[in-house]
């Protein structure tokens, strides 16, 4: 199967409106993927919270020294927090949790804990100084909710949780300062000694500690939000890089992919250079496919492509495209090498040996053997990206490529497994010098032939079918980067 690859006259590609549309859709899909990860993170956070509260509940049942209603009050507080967590978990699990609902649960958690802190256990006889709540380490409890929000990978939710903590603790402070007999350092010019002495007074509330707590909360919240935002940006950037690498890996050997990764849009600029081109397809595939179920045809093509692709990459080639049962590969792309033509010929030999081995396997299974035809050529071509942002691919284009497809057709007409142009043969001699005979001995000259669509005949060389098993078993002296 052959196909024209186009002419060498190409214009410089310019960005088109649909390119930005594509990037917008890609960003939308990426953010949608983050939405799924946010849901998974919140599920994990609520599960951990539920497990921790369950353990705390069991511990309070067996180890709390309080009795009767006092103990039930403590257990009720834990159960309420457990219920809030389970309700949040249920909404997330059912995928019925809009963004504002996550914010609502964060606010409810903070508000409930703040209420519990300023409302002493009514069933405990001992007097409790409410103002001691502000002066104690109870504030650190709120950081558990801040930690929970970071599991969402959503900076906005982290910032909201920090705001809820500051707002709740500020309300607690205002409530305590409004109690009878409570005072603070505000409006009083207290020395250090007086401040230390006042701090020991149960009726004194140190507002400076609240200021410090707010500052710490702002810093921690901002830091966590920045870390989450940075993690999202890194993940999005890494996803873009991996998509680009996967796209490059469709065409190039691994080491070439590593080289191209360091370049920004390496194929946007069109380049003209000499390359070796290989075109191969399965003979009689159309007639064969008519007698096979579509599933078997697809499986056959996948196996054929896998066998051929491995040979191309093993010889440092670039896999440009599949065209049904045909494939186009080039050598010397993106950078020219010292043995591009030699490696193209060695690849053709290797493909034929691989097909012979596959046919032996097919024969053991009672399947008919497959015949492949290969055309090889060497000459100038241009390389670069073609298409738009909506659908773009790398291509090698020019008369050298068109001629290669015609040579592959000639291989079918002459019943030869491989046909090479004299241009490629002469290039192999130049690359290998006296050692070139090792690669060229299996070929024989077939004279001049006029190819379809060409006015002048060209000299070609062919490989007899009997030479497939031994052709090119001695590989080139210098190997390309793979």
pLDDT band per the 50, 70, 90 thresholds, residue 233: confident
* Strand blocks (E) in 389-435: 392-397, 418-421
Percent of the chain, pLDDT > 70? Answer: 76
Lowest mean pLDDT among 93-107, 117-131, 414-428: 117-131
- Return d(Cα 141, Cα 120) in angstroms, integer: 16
**What per-residue confidence (pLDDT) applies to 4?**
45
Region 302-318: what's the mean pLDDT?
Answer: 88
Within 8 A by CB and 6+ apart from 280, the residues are: 308, 326, 327, 329, 348, 351, 372, 373, 374, 375, 408
In contact, 278 and 404? CB cutoff 8 Å: yes
Q: Of 91, 94, 115, which is closest to residue 103 (Cα–Cα)?
A: 91
Q: What's the residue count for the chain? A: 482
- Return d(Cα 60, Cα 386) in angstroms, integer: 69
**460 pLDDT more than 90:** yes
**What per-residue confidence (pLDDT) applies to 61?**
83
pLDDT band per the 50, 70, 90 thresholds, residue 37: confident
In contact, 209 and 136? CB cutoff 8 Å: no
**What per-residue confidence (pLDDT) applies to 241?**
59
**468 pLDDT more than 70:** no
**436 pLDDT more than 80:** no
**What per-residue confidence (pLDDT) applies to 121?**
78
The sign of the dihedral angle between the CA atoms of 44, 49, 52, 57 is: negative
Region 15-23: what's the mean pLDDT?
Answer: 44
**What per-residue confidence (pLDDT) applies to 163?**
95
Q: Of 22, 10, 7, which is closest to residue 385 (Cα–Cα)?
A: 10
- Half-sphere exposure in the Cβ direction for 378 (13 Å, CA): 25
Region 192-215: what's the mean pLDDT?
Answer: 82
Residue, of 480 and 38, whose pLDDT is higher: 38
Class of domain 265-467: alpha beta
**Ranges 75-84, 141-150, 250-259, 346-355, most confident:** 346-355
**What per-residue confidence (pLDDT) applies to 337?**
86
- Half-sphere exposure in the Cβ direction for 244 (13 Å, CA): 18
In contact, 420 and 377? CB cutoff 8 Å: yes
Region 212-225: what's the mean pLDDT?
Answer: 93
Indicate the pTM of the whole model. Answer: 0.53
Region 349-364: what's the mean pLDDT?
Answer: 92
Q: Of 107, 110, 79, 95, which is closest to residue 43 (Cα–Cα)?
A: 95
- Return d(Cα 72, Cα 78) in angstroms, integer: 10
Within 8 A by CB and 6+ apart from 54, the residues are: 82
Region 310-336: what's the mean pLDDT?
Answer: 86
pLDDT band per the 50, 70, 90 thresholds, residue 238: low
Residue ranges covered by each domain of the chain:
17-246, 265-467
State whether residue 4 is helix, strand or coil: coil
- Return d(Cα 288, Cα 282) in angstroms, integer: 10
The sign of the dihedral angle between the CA atoms of 167, 171, 176, 180 is: positive
**Ranges 106-120, 135-149, 459-473, most confident:** 106-120
pLDDT band per the 50, 70, 90 thresholds, residue 348: very high
Q: What angle do CA 156, 157, 160 make, to 5 degrees?
A: 90
**What per-residue confidence (pLDDT) applies to 439?**
83
In contact, 183 and 154? CB cutoff 8 Å: no
What residues does 248 pair with on adjacent strands?
Answer: none
- Return d(Cα 176, Cα 184) in angstroms, integer: 10
């Amino acid at each position: 199967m052959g196909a024209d690859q186009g002419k060498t006259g190409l214009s410089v590609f310019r960005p088109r409106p649909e390119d930005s549309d594509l990037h917008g859709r890609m960003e939308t899909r990426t953010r949608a993927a983050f939405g799924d990860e946010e849901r998974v993170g919140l599920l994990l956070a609520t599960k951990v919270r539920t497990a921790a509260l369950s353990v705390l509940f069991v511990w309070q049942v067996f180890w709390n020294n309080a009795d009767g209603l006092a103990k039930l009050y403590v257990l009720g507080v834990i159960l309420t927090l457990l219920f809030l967590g389970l309700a949040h978990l249920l909404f997330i699990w059912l995928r019925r949790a809009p963004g504002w609902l996550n914010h609502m649960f964060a606010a409810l958690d903070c508000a409930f804990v703040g209420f519990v802190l300023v409302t002493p256990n009514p069933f405990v006889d001992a007097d409790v100084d409410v103002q001691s709540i502000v002066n104690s380490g109870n504030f650190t409890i709120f950081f558990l909710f801040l930690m929970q929000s970071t599991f969402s990978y959503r900076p906005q939710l982290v910032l909201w949780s920090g705001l809820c903590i500051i707002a709740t603790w500020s309300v607690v402070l205002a409530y305590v300062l409004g109690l009878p007999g409570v005072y603070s350092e505000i409006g009083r010019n207290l020395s250090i000694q007086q401040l230390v002495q006042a701090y020991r007074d149960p009726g004194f509330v140190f507002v400076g500690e609240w200021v410090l707590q707010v500052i710490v909360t702002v810093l921690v919240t901002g830091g966590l939000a920045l870390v989450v935002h940075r993690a999202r940006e890194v993940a999005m950037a890494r996803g873009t890089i991996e998509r680009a690498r996967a796209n490059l890996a469709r065409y190039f050997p691994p080491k070439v992919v590593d080289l191209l990764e360091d370049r920004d849009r390496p194929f946007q600029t069109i380049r003209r250079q000499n390359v070796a081109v290989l075109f191969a397809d399965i003979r009689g595939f159309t007639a064969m496919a008519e007698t096979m179920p579509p599933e078997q045809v697809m499986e056959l093509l996948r196996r054929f492509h896998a066998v051929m692709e491995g040979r191309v990459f093993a010889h440092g080639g670039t896999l440009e495209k599949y065209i049904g049962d045909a494939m186009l590969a080039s050598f010397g792309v993106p950078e020219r090498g010292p043995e591009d033509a030699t490696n193209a010929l060695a690849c053709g030999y290797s493909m034929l040996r691989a097909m012979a081995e596959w046919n032996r396997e097919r024969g053991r299974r009672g399947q008919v053997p497959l015949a492949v035809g290969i055309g090889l050529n060497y000459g100038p071509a241009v390389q670069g990206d073609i298409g738009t942002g909506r659908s773009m691919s790398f291509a090698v284009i020019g008369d050298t490529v068109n001629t290669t497809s015609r040579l592959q057709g000639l291989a079918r007409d002459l019943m030869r497994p491989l046909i090479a142009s004299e241009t490629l043969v002469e290039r192999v001699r130049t690359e290998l010098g006296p050692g070139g005979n090792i690669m060229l001995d299996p070929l024989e000259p077939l004279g001049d032939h006029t190819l379809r669509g060409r006015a002048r005949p060209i000299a070609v060389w062919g490989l007899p079918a009997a030479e497939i098993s031994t052709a090119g078993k001695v590989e080139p002296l210098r190997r390309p980067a793979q």
